[in-house]
Structure 1
Amino acid sequence: MLPTLNKNPLYTTEYGSAYVVDSLEALAQLPDNSVNLVMTSPPFALQRQKEYGNKDEYDYVDWLAEFAKLVYQKLTPDGSFVVDLGGAYRKGHPVRSLYNYRVLIKFCDEIGFHLAEEFFWFNPSKLPSPIEWVNKRKIRAKDSVNTVWWLSKTEWPKADVSKVLTEYSDRMKKLLKDPEAYYSPAKRPSGHDISNTFGKDNGGAIPSNLLQISNSEASSKYLKLCKEVGVSAHPARFPAKLPEFFIRFLTEPNDLVVDIFGGSNTTGYVCELEKRRWMAFEERKDYLSASVFRFMQEKPIEEIKEAFNELMAEDENTTKHIPTIQPTLI
């Protein structure tokens, strides 16, 4: 069972619920020590106001800390808070803002979080920016990495890296096939014999904290359906592979995952595929209504349009249920 709020969700699925709500209001209603993972990508502290809303960098840290204080209360003792934060330049100057690092320091020093590990999301398809410093003046390199803070309530959060192993390299595959032909290690100076640790197939390689995930969604079904229905897609989506990594790494089936800045509900969609209970909170009804496209990808376009229109027309006393989806990422 999912926790309940004092208002109806916009829509539900087999495993989750999506709410048009202020996240501070919604978080306050959740039971303490009930959430296994909060996985989110807040609006970044950008210099220009964006359609989806963002704060000035100097106000940003305190603003986000209000959410983090509630997240800390609601997490289970072994729960985690994963925050994707893009970098930014200081207004009018070719030097970086430190806001994403100030977020980290404040959350740990003042709220009580631990930095379990820092991750870096490398997006090879990211466009060169900012244009002034990279394209025009050519005095800075392209910014292609987001900081992703894995924060925990305890020094020993629940995690299992064996759930997110990566594919072996071609060289490793050859070694596994015939270890003696490709690797003959000598004893280390310490006397430690590592010869028996290689040549064993563990099902994949341990991933690094540099996550290379392209965010080129030009041909995604979500975007195609937004175009066909005639609605604006959320302008700041993260790729499904990013929450998928942390959901598999830090939770188990039936655990509760919450996204406090739901947007197009990528987190909820991945949770549905991974059989995690989920809740998504988003203030903008149009974005959350369009997120239903992720759960209806194989449905006829007329049925999808009808569902979107029903969601946009619904009042707070009605909820639409979306049937179980097929397990494919879009």
Structure 2
Amino acid sequence: MKSLPAFGNQPLYQTDLGAAYVADSLDMLKQLPDGSVNLVVTSPPFALLRVKEYGNKDQHEYIDWLSEFGRLVHQKLTDDGSFVIDLGGAYQRGVPVRSLYNYRVLLKFVDELGFHLAEEFFWHNPSKLPSPIEWVNKRKIRVKDSVNTVWWFSKTEWPKSDVTKVLSEYSDRMKKLIKDPSAYYTPSKRPSGHDIGVGFGKDNGGAIPSNLLQISNGEATSKYLKICKELGLSAHPARFPSKLPEFFIKMLTTPGDLVIDIFAGSNTTGYVCELEGRRWLSFEQDHQYLSASVFRFLQNEPIDVIKSLYEELIGNAGAMGTSKKVVPKIQHNLAI
């Protein structure tokens, strides 16, 4: 397996397959060789009206700010590489009218940065709390916002992709059909023009997924949150669920490929990559959040050992020029 790219500064911590850096993603991307990254998957701070503790830009400046990263990502991707970006929706200030910032990001990336929209996805989070409070809870004139847009950008028209790696479980009805096709349908040409033949009842290992990804963002029982709570630390407030990056990592890369998260937060992406055998790099400017992200990679260590490791990491100011800290190798049967 290829080694990880080398940088002028040391990682905050590393594993067998990846490394996490407290650093500005723009600086780190510039150091990478062109055409060396297979996938960038990330969830940047959204362009919300209210300033969040994890950092976010005003809607008016957001598009140009995010485009700085987009230009570099396009340059660093392999020809068959992809850039997957999760963007939440927002309202305009003071009125119950939606902002179009996430769609303007899409248009700018395609029209000006040279990306192709391979496919648009929509992440439905059924556990998302009703918001915004003013329009949904108080005045009750809007429904709750529970869907994020997820743009799958590619460098060329033919990005690396294999949908068979992310097949969905068959419905009970489809399982019965596969078991005895003749009892459920007769091969024929449908009014739509589709020719449904005998091959329709073949077991292909699962169903082709749709571009609507229904993934709950509830991880109340995760080890990461449990340790944060036990040590009295603030968990990252805008984590995305592991199944979201997992879907794209499995579909768009193969073992040994290099995956990067440029807004790593609590490093869900890095952990999923470790489980899936992908090399990974995570960049995050908030030292505390990235230090706490090491909890995802720990297994059965006593809390005093975990606390000591965290204190060592948080004490490495910026992790610039410090020695590497190797975290224990994780087991691939762990759940986030």
What's the TM-score once normalised by structure 1's chain length? Answer: 0.98
1:44–1:55 CA contact under 8 A, matched in 2? yes
1:37–1:258 CA contact under 8 A, matched in 2? yes
Q: Tell me which of 144, 150, 165 is aligned to 1:148.
A: 150
Q: Tell me which of 211, 214, 225 is aligned to 1:212.
A: 214
Q: Does 1:318 align with 2:323?
A: yes
What root-mean-square deviation, in Å, do the aligned CA atoms of Structure 1 and Structure 2 show? Answer: 1.2
Q: Tell me which of 261, 270, 274 is aligned to 1:272.
A: 274
1:240–1:329 CA contact under 8 A, matched in 2? no
Q: 1:189 Cα deviation (Å)?
A: 6.3
Moved more, 290-299 or 167-176: 290-299
Pairwise mapping of residues 113-152 of structure 1 onto structure 2 (< 5 A)? 113-152=115-154
How many residues align structurally? 330
Q: Quick one: which amino acid aligns to residue 149 of structure 2?
A: T
- Kindly tell me: are residues 20 and 140 of structure 1, through their superposed partners in 2, closer, same or farther at Cα, counting changes over 3 Å? same
Matched residues in 1 for 2:302 and 2:200: separation? Answer: 51
Matched residues in 1 for 2:188 and 2:207: separation? Answer: 22
- Kindly tell me: are residues 310 and 174 of structure 1, through their superposed partners in 2, closer, same or farther at Cα, counting changes over 3 Å? same
Share of identical aligned residues, percent? 73
Matched residues in 2 for 1:263 and 1:124: separation? Answer: 22
Q: 1:105 Cα deviation (Å)?
A: 0.3
Matched residues in 2 for 1:199 and 1:98: separation? Answer: 43
Q: 1:303 Cα deviation (Å)?
A: 1.5
Pairwise mapping of residues 101-112 of structure 1 onto structure 2 (< 5 A)? 101-112=103-114
Q: Tell me which of 34, 39, 42 is aligned to 1:40.
A: 42
3-state SS of paired residue (2:112): helix
Q: Tell me which of 301, 304, 317 is aligned to 1:302.
A: 304
Deviating above 4 A after TM superposition, structure 1's stretches of 4 or more consecutive aligned residues are: 188-193
Q: Quick one: which amino acid aligns to residue 324 of structure 1?
A: K
Matched residues in 2 for 1:204 and 1:299: separation? Answer: 38
2:187–2:198 CA contact under 8 A, matched in 1? no
3-state SS of paired residue (1:257): strand
Question: Could you list the runs of 5+ residues in structure 1 that have no partner in the other structure?
Answer: none
Moved more, 222-231 or 64-73: 222-231
- Kindly tell me: are residues 314 and 179 of structure 1, through their superposed partners in 2, closer, same or farther at Cα, counting changes over 3 Å? same
Q: 1:178 Cα deviation (Å)?
A: 0.8
1:117–1:151 CA contact under 8 A, matched in 2? yes
What's the TM-score once normalised by structure 2's chain length? Answer: 0.96
1:226–1:233 CA contact under 8 A, matched in 2? yes
Moved more, 182-191 or 161-170: 182-191
Q: Does 1:329 align with 2:329?
A: no
- Kindly tell me: are residues 173 and 47 of structure 1, through their superposed partners in 2, closer, same or farther at Cα, counting changes over 3 Å? same
1:85-142, Cα deviation, whole Å (9 max, x unpaired)? 0000001110000000000000000000000000000000000000100011000011
- Other-structure match for 1:62: 64
1:263-307, Cα deviation, whole Å (9 max, x unpaired)? 000000000000000000000110000000000043221221111
Q: 1:73 Cα deviation (Å)?
A: 0.3
